[in-house]
Amino acid sequence: MTAVSRSASPKAARGRRSFSLMIGAGLLGVIVVLAILAPWITPHDPLAHNLDSILAPPSSDYLLGTDHLGRDVWTRLLYAARLDLLIGVGAVITPFVTGTLLGAVAGYYGGRIDLAVSAATDMLFAFPYYVLIIALVFSLGPGIPSIFIAMAIVAWVSYARIVRGEVLSARGQQYVMAAKTLGYSDLRIIVRHILPNVITQPVTYAMSDIVVIIVGVVTLSYLGLGVPPPTPDWGSMIASGQSYLTTQWQLSTIPGIAVVIVGLSFSLIGDGLTHRLRPE
């Protein structure tokens, strides 16, 4: 079966990739819509304690039951989606921009600038990603601003490395030569001519990076270093439900499944985009 599909026409392969793009976008779309509509489609307040009905089982009133402070799990799940998706998408922007620019400059000019940027990326790549993030957040103090700063410091290296390679090969191409001959400034050549041609690579990478960042935020919150309570977040929901795992398994499991679904949908989108945008 695999052999057959491998030998099938490029068109069929592209169709299959479109399929994964559609599934991914569909899943993500549903989650994003639910998250946006959270205040209107959830009947409860995500923060209000209701100490008379703690650890209630799922019911028509509480779709997924309540947590240890009587808060509605379904409501918190959706509000957590808002925050975690926001952080995931938001935290990818700074590294995307800085990484892309630094990579482009390094690839275009080469020489000492390239050496400096490459040395910095190599140095950061030498450390395990999560270890670095956790160490940075820990020293900056827990909280969302620290997460943004840590991601900005650590995550740009992948973009820089990808863009640098692309720019290196674009530098010798005819359209760049032509632009140079016409006397365009370096800035104009990089921004107007090279970047639009190489940007698809970092954009597709950003899709998988969002997954990494969301998982990172959830992990940090699980460890008590991320989103501070009582703000709902999947990581802190998993952590606080853990004590009740043997009796109220859904408290930790459902937010965990939410993370998996979001991760899966971004991965499918990234996968679909990669092949969609690949030149034939």
Task: Tell the residue number behind the tokens 């859904």, with chain if given.
Answer: 250
Least CB distance from residue 93 to other proteins, whole Å? Answer: 8
Q: Is 110 in the site for other proteins (CB under 8 A)?
A: no
Q: What is the CA 45 to chain-centroid distance, rounded?
A: 27
**In terms of DSSP H, where are the helices of 126-249?**
129-140, 144-154, 156-171, 174-181, 186-188, 195-198, 200-222, 234-241
Q: Is 271 in the site for other proteins (CB under 8 A)?
A: no
For residue 86, give Cα distances in angstroms to 30, 32, 95, 185: 15, 10, 15, 37
**Whole-number minimum distance, CB 54 to other proteins, in Å?**
5
According to the binding rule CB under 8 A, does residue 171 interact with other proteins? no
Of 14, 45, 94, 130, the one binding other proteins by CB under 8 A: 45
Examine residue 85 and tell whether it contacts other proteins (CB under 8 A).
Answer: yes
Site string for other proteins, 193-232 (x = CB under 8 A): ---xx-xx--xx-x-----------------x---xxx--
Is residue 53 a contact partner of residue 202, using CB atoms and an 8 Å limit?
A: no
241, 246, 247, 252 alpha-carbon torsion, rounded to 10°: 30
User: Maximum CA pair distance of the chain?
Assistant: 77
Question: Which of residues 49 and 124 has its CB atom nearest to other proteins in the complex?
Answer: 49
- Give the binding site for other proteins (CB under 8 A): 32, 35-36, 38-39, 45-52, 54-55, 68-70, 79, 82-83, 85-86, 89-90, 142, 175, 196-197, 199-200, 203-204, 206, 224, 228-230, 240, 242-247, 273, 276-277, 279
